[in-house]
Amino acid sequence: MARVGILGGTFNPPHIGHLVCAASAREQLGLDHVVLMPVFVPPHKTVTDDPGPQERLELCRLAVADDPGLRVSALEVERGGPSYTVETLRALQDARPEDERWFIVGGDMAQSLPTWREPEGVLALATLAVAEREGITRQDVLDRVAGLAGAAERVRFFDVPRMDLSSSLLRRRLAEGRTVRHLVPAAVERRIDERGFYRRNPYPGG
């Protein structure tokens, strides 16, 4: 049996904040490893400036290559279509029923859990690992999910260093021709640079 964290997202592109969140969850929750799982299509938002799911998957693989505690899953990319957490967790349960799953989210996403597809099914399949962030308290989250069966036992919290960093900020910097050095892993920066991703005027052949 393995204690496995799952960090889903668009990862457009993956950045240091994602890795810090994953590493913090692994350390504080005693997880064997954390899996980054890029979506094919997120169900609740539009992906802008998207190099495509296969490229985002490759960027994630490059991002975690130097950390044996982090892995990448192509499950949602290969399945195609909108990505719903409960369906992903069921697929993981079917593949490895012996594993203990922890689904990693930020406080804002945790508060929206009651609006997800089959939220009680999510809690039956995984513990919700909530990254604490400034502006949203533990009680805020617990109050919002209190009506869901299993919430009291299946919601846990961990600390993440504050980082004002987002994929949308990085896309904006790249579109403006600015550097993202030290904001993304070096291998991710090289791939973005070589392919001209997120640039308003991509490099020739990019």
In a domain, 105, yes or no: yes
Q: Is 27 part of a structural domain of the chain?
A: yes
Total of domains in the chain: 1
Give the span between the Cα atoms of 69 and 161, in whole angstroms: 19
Residue 201 within any structural domain of the chain: no
Count CB-CB contacts under 10 A for residue 21. Answer: 24
| 173 lies in some domain | no
Tokens 């192509």, residue? 74
Q: Is residue 205 part of a domain?
A: no
CATH number at residue 58: 3.40.50.620
Mean pLDDT in runs of 10 for the chain (206 residues)?
97 97 98 98 74 97 98 97 94 98 96 96 98 87 95 95 92 96 98 93 43
In a domain, 42, yes or no: yes
Name the token pair of 151: 């919430």
Q: Is residue 192 part of a domain?
A: no
Domain that holds residue 154: 3-163
Q: What is the pLDDT of residue 34?
A: 99
Decide if 189 is inside a domain.
Answer: no
Report the pLDDT value the prediction gives residue 143, as an integer from 0 to 100.
95
